[in-house]
Amino acid sequence: MIHIKTKEEIQIMEEGAKILAQIMEELKRKVEPGITTKELDKVAQDLIFKFGAKPSFKGYNGFPATLCVSVNEEIVHGIPSERRLKEGDIVSLDLGLFYKGFHSDMAITLGVGKISPEASRLIRVTKDALRMAIRKVRPGNTIGDIGNTIQRYVESQGFNVVRDLCGHGIGRELHEEPQILNYGKRHTGAMIREGMVFCIEPMVTMGDWKIKKSQDGFTFLTKDGSLSAHFEHEVAVGEDGCKVLTKI
């Protein structure tokens, strides 16, 4: 069942999403060679509590941290550790918070120091795919239009979209209906309606789209070890289009 939010509920969600975007902006400034992923997690948790919110991910299905930190071939759900980021890495930061009864969720991918031109292009294409997908969010279009837009653009650039992970509705629960696939056919899936709030999150690989789960039980990686990038925004559907609630 897809939960339609009232304007008042969306306003509260926007408050939380703005806090989340501020925290993500602060995390971006901390990403540099030598910092550990665990240090980034502590910064995220401290800031969430400072703003009077709670971490959405910590304890969710047993996840042990506030921030998901996924490096290089890791796609999503990387567990923070004593691992130090090094020059040339790319790192995806995925963060959620719970504020006034509602969840917010977003993700970005960054280069650590100087990265290769191809890694930089992977990040840019993933970010552009999200931007293009957001343009498709308006009443009368379908969820399939979003996935089709992401897939066609990403594949035209010589990369692949992950098929086994997807975006999601969000609200009082962290993951709600509908699922937002990053591939598919136009004019298929649920109709987009005013009052929907969901997260679009293209996950793009430099190699094959097939994935595997690490031994830690949480982290998803590319099966062929190729680099992966991930961007996510939370959007609310309005009368004529949508508003990006997590816009930095």
Report the run of H or E that residue 83 belongs to, with start and end.
none
**CATH number assigned to the domain comprising residue 57:** 3.90.230.10
228-230 and 176-180 strand pairing: unpaired
**Among residues of the chain, what percentage have pLDDT more than 70?**
100
Q: Give 74-96 pLDDT, tens digit per residue.
A: 999 999 999 999 999 999 999 99
Residue 212 included in any domain: yes
Residue 44 included in any domain: yes
In order of 83, 144, 203, 209, the CA distances from 155 in angstroms are 32, 16, 12, 11
Residue 62: pLDDT over 90? yes
Residue 61 included in any domain: yes
Q: What are phi and psi of 69, to 5 degrees?
A: -125, 110
Residue 1 included in any domain: no
Q: Give 134-158 pLDDT, tens digit per residue.
A: 999 999 999 999 999 999 999 999 9
Residue 123: pLDDT over 90? yes
pLDDT, average across residues 195-204: 98
Q: How far apart are alpha carbons 174 and 180 in whole angstroms?
A: 14
Residues with Cβ within 8 Å of 88's Cβ and at least 6 positions away in sequence, in order, are 112, 113, 114, 115, 116, 119
- Predicted structure pTM score: 0.97
Tally the domains of the chain.
1
pLDDT confidence of residue 13: 98
CA-nearest of 132, 129, 152, 140 to 241 is: 140
Residues 75 and 203 sit within 8 Å (Cβ to Cβ): yes
For the CA atoms of 179, 182, 183, 186, the dihedral, rounded to the nearest 10 degrees, stands at 70
pLDDT confidence of residue 181: 98
pLDDT, average across residues 176-182: 98
Spell out the alpha helix ranges (H) of 2-139. 7-30, 37-50, 117-134
Q: Please, what is the Cα angle at 196 between 248 and 163, to 5 degrees?
A: 75
Q: How confident is the model at residue 204 (pLDDT cuts 50, 70, 90)?
A: very high
CA-nearest of 135, 196, 138 to 168 is: 196
Q: How confident is the model at residue 124 (pLDDT cuts 50, 70, 90)?
A: very high
Residues with Cβ within 8 Å of 57's Cβ and at least 6 positions away in sequence, in order, are 63, 65, 66, 67, 68, 94, 95, 96, 174
In order of 113, 220, 221, the CA distances from 215 in angstroms are 29, 10, 11
Report the run of H or E that residue 152 belongs to, with start and end.
helix 143-156
pLDDT, average across residues 161-173: 98
CA-nearest of 228, 148, 140 to 186 is: 148
Domain range for 187? 7-244
Residue 121: pLDDT over 90? yes
Residue 200 included in any domain: yes
Residue 29 included in any domain: yes
pLDDT confidence of residue 53: 98
Residue 2 included in any domain: no
pLDDT confidence of residue 77: 98
Residue 238 included in any domain: yes
pLDDT confidence of residue 248: 80
Mean pLDDT taken over the chain = 98
